[in-house]
A and B are shown apart, each in its own frame.
Chain A
Amino acid sequence: MTIVNVLSVVCFIVFGPLIGGLLSGIDRKLSARMQGRIGPSVLQPFYDIKKLLNKQRIDIVDTSMSGLLLSYMILMIMSGAIFFSGSDILMSVFVLSTASTFLYFAAIVTSSPYNSIAASRELVQIMTYEPAVLLACVGFYLVTGTFNVGAISQTDSVLLWQLPGFFIAFVFILTIKMRKSPFDISGGHHAHQELVQGITTEMGARNLAIFHIAEWYENVFLLGFVALFALNKNLWSIPLAVVLVALVFFTEVLIDNVSARMKMKNMLRITWLVTLFAAGLNLLVLMLVH
């Protein structure tokens, strides 16, 4: 492991939540502007977290939810760290799915009716997006011959041109991962307030803060994944990656604002079809070429 790798891991752990929080603020600002509102300050998510951390701790039944949420956050950081350290991409994806399992556990452990329903939905969402993520890794492997993130980011060409299908499938499931409409099923909320909101229904105060910070880490990790489609050993690929990430992010916000929530089964059906056709066709072509 080189110094660069260690540095990027440290950067991810330290600046990850800052970037994630900022992105969340930008998201809210953008959404507000799209809806013709002024919207909160870009720094609002940080104020929210500060408020949540200062509140009295709340738990249902006992503190097991806190433990599970904390595990969720640590594993999320770990999967991002594996990714940004430039090691195996499959390993980081597997740790990511383990992290999501812990989120499910945290949501279901209380047996709260609303939270349990949202947890089941979260589980279906995990199942829905997983194939596309795995296939994206396979795509990288087919083109570069390695699962190593460091090596994947040091090729000669922009991988996006060879992996358009995988990219489409990945961006498609990103809508689920970032909890955006029309696929924000487990995050569904009635009355846009943070008291009752899908999977976070029973998460209050510090627990909710942990949940949000973990999500920020996750978003940074996922956008890093998107950047991998553009990065190569040339320096000019860095601005290209930034533009690509910004574009994807903006698209997600836009989709969130122009679509209504979908039924779970439709989400599953559509996402799997897109994964199968976009990623599957791409896979077929790549395998025939190689």
Chain B
Amino acid sequence: MSQILSGGEPFLYRGESGVGVLLVHGWTSSPQEMRDLGKHLAGQGHTVLGLRLPGHGTRPADLNRLLWRDWLAAVEDGYHFLENASEKVVAMGLSLGGALALLLAASLPVAGVVAMATPYELPTQPRLRWLRHLLFPMRPLGNLLRFMPKPTVNDYKDPQAYEDHLSYDVFPVQSVPEVGGLLELLRQQLPGMRAPLLLLHAVEDRGVSPDHARSIYARVGSTEKELVWIEDSGHVITVEPSRRRVYDLAAEFVDRELERAP
């Protein structure tokens, strides 16, 4: 039996444009939610790597063991895979992956960042908030309650996309403070960030409200920054009815980076 769930494998496509695009998926999910975007960008001639974050695409219990530094190490790996195969590396991420893409740009020479549906702080989703209040003061409680079911209500516009989405159906409880810790680091690093940034966020995102995108936009140090609102989509904007628009915006961003002198 393979360790990685079928459909949750990372992917690598080779192009000759000179740009390497690193795609980073979100918390509790897998490279699957980035694959169609990856194919689109590969179709434009770019080298594309959709990495798998540690603890993802395997078993929910794996996430309870991990620290946020493990995820950061994995996006560094992604950068290093691409740096030798391309002249410029653009990092793109969804949700937690967006935060990781931003943090990567704070430590390595990333040419640009596309951050999609990215949180600025731990979302105020009721269950997550409850877990946070429970866990930050009393972390050992995570040993008693290892998983929390995800809410059955969701913000998907496309029910099929929800059905097809490969993601753990529980929140690994001990991983929640790790998300919080990573976002704390993000808030520290944002003002020092200089890489060009494109923020994409669904107006109707119920997982990570549009306020998060506004906060990132306001506090990021990059002078070249743009925030584009996506209609007709829930949180996972890469698989929703308006995904084509997301793919086009991401591809245009890469083209602009390509034209820029190195």
Binding partners A and B: no
